Amino acid sequence: MDTDWSELERRIEREIKQDSSRILKCNGIERRRVTSNNNHKIGMQTGSRPNQTKAITYEMVEFAFNTLLSKGRFDSKDFRKRFDAKYRAGPCRFSMTGGILVELGVAKIVPAEKEEDCCYMRTP
Residue pLDDT, tens place only, 53-67: 999 999 999 999 999
Residue pLDDT, tens place only, 5-32: 999 999 999 999 999 999 999 988 999 9
Q: Find the helix or strand (DSSP H, E) in which 87 lies.
A: helix 76-89
Residues forming a β-bridge with 55: 43
**Where in the chain are the domains?**
5-122
Q: How far apart are the first and last CA of the chain?
A: 6
The answer to whether residues 37 and 96 touch, using CB atoms and an 8 Å cutoff, is: no
Phi, psi of 107 (to 5 degrees): -145, 160
